Structure 1
Amino acid sequence: MQAFIQGVGIGGSLIMAVGAQNAFVLKQGLMRSHSLPIAALCSIIDALMITAGVAGLGHLIVTFPLIKDIASIGGAIFLLVYGARALKSSFSEQVMAQEGNHGTGTLKAAVLTTLGISLLNPHLYLDTVVLLGSISAQFEGADRPLFGAGAVLASFVWFFSLSFGARYLSPLFQKPKAWCYLDRFICLTMWTIACVLIWPYFA
């Protein structure tokens, strides 16, 4: 079970880093707006990417850098727009959404936003397909899929914990000022990641 435990530890450490996915899942969890399907979709996307990496598909991203370039530019544009929306939202008073009437609105909008934040972020591919895939190469036989299973488990546990755990923070967000700070934090997170993505093309 050593490979499985290492998968949980390494996978969890990569997933728990502050990023666009986590910020989005946190806000939707606080608003109780489609939090379950969003957490499930993020977990499934991670699971597919991790499985692809363990299967040895990481070399495609390394061999064809155009894939990373397209994801970087597209992802940066998406994150800049989403960050601008969060900044705009921070200047309007909000109240805690007890019935899930806020957030991204419809389930379709929530799913599309989740797909955009996840799939247009090249860090997803680098962390899961390339990095975890490379680490899994040190294991042989049944240990390799066990490593992948551990990383997948860490992803599911993290996203569902983040989504449902956000509800316990709801008393803090009864005040509109708290939503203001959260939206500005999300804007800063999105714009920072966007700058990191496009900086190499201007350096």
Structure 2
Amino acid sequence: MVEAFLHGFVLSLGLILPLGVQNVFVFNQGAVQSSLWRAMPVVLTAAVCDTLLILLAVLGVSLVVLTFDWLETALYAVGFFFLLYMGYLTWKSTPSTEGDEAQRFTPRKQILFAASVSLFNPHAILDTIGVIGTSSLSYGGTEKWAFTLSCILVSWLWFFALSVAGRTAGRLDRSGKLLRSLNVVSACIIWAVALFMGAKLAGIVV
């Protein structure tokens, strides 16, 4: 059981570490919110969505995405347009060091965006199915649950750590220039992912 737990921990950490839209959004909200507590909606939503995807992958339910071609196409289409919009919002955001609430996402917006970038991200879903779901087939009974809980634990710890890192960066940035530069870089990353999704969507449609 220990081996299954460690396998899940290392595997999940390897999948979640690369810089992506979800990670960027959690870090950004940690940086711009007035306190760590106010960034908890995005942390909890991202962690809960990852937990759901992992459970679906292990249980085999999410294989339906690979079964129906139209569902994969719809997923890419929604993700493409949503990320274009999110990139625009991130680009025009101008973080303030004086606590301007207008520059921060409300709890509702945090939840909506975090859920969207988690559940409408075809790459995250396909990676979860193809890697975590497939790897879980090697285990059964308590070992499978140890593997699954380990993967889930990594998500919760990682998103909380990202928000703490973002909050630390926000507190150190008195001028606001660092956060503004981070928003520009984040927007470019988001648009790059959107364009990649658009290319995949065009390939699927054609």
The two structures share one fold, judged by TM-score above 0.5:
yes
Give 1:38 shift.
Answer: 1.0
Alignment deviations for residues 60-116 of structure 1 (CA, whole Å, 9 cap, x no partner) = 122113222111111110111111222223xx5x32365866321x22122112122
Aligned partner of 1:133 in structure 2 is: 133
Structure in which a larger fraction of residues adopt helix: 2
Letter of the 1:194 partner, please give it. A
Aligned partner of 1:18 in structure 2 is: 19
Return the alpha-carbon distance in structure 2 between the equivalents of residues 128 and 159 of structure 1.
17
Return the alpha-carbon distance in structure 2 between the equivalents of residues 119 and 66 of structure 1.
16
Change (3 A) 1:162 1:95: same
Aligned partner of 2:61 in structure 1 is: 57
Return the alpha-carbon distance in structure 2 between the equivalents of residues 163 and 98 of structure 1.
17
Return the alpha-carbon distance in structure 1 between the equivalents of residues 100 and 154 of structure 2.
29
Are the counterparts in 1 of residues 76 and 201 from structure 2 also a CA contact under 8 Å?
no
Are the counterparts in 1 of residues 73 and 201 from structure 2 also a CA contact under 8 Å?
no
Aligned partner of 1:96 in structure 2 is: 97
Unpaired runs of at least 5, structure 2: none
Letter of the 2:181 partner, please give it. Y
Are the counterparts in 2 of residues 95 and 173 from structure 1 also a CA contact under 8 Å?
no
Alignment of 1:2-151 (within 5 A): 2-32=3-33, 34-89=38-93, 92=94, 94-96=95-97, 98=99, 102-104=103-105, 106-151=106-151
Return the alpha-carbon distance in structure 2 between the equivalents of residues 70 and 202 of structure 1.
12
* Range that drifts further, 10-19 or 80-89: 80-89
Are the counterparts in 2 of residues 71 and 121 from structure 1 also a CA contact under 8 Å?
yes
Return the alpha-carbon distance in structure 2 between the equivalents of residues 97 and 82 of structure 1.
24
Change (3 A) 1:75 1:5: same
Return the alpha-carbon distance in structure 2 between the equivalents of residues 100 and 138 of structure 1.
49
State the TM-score, normalizing by the size of structure 2: 0.88
Give 1:120 shift.
Answer: 1.4
Residue-pair matches, total: 199
Return the alpha-carbon distance in structure 2 between the equivalents of residues 99 and 139 of structure 1.
50
Unpaired runs of at least 5, structure 1: none
Q: Percent identity?
A: 28
Are the counterparts in 1 of residues 79 and 122 from structure 2 also a CA contact under 8 Å?
yes
Partner SS for 1:68:
helix
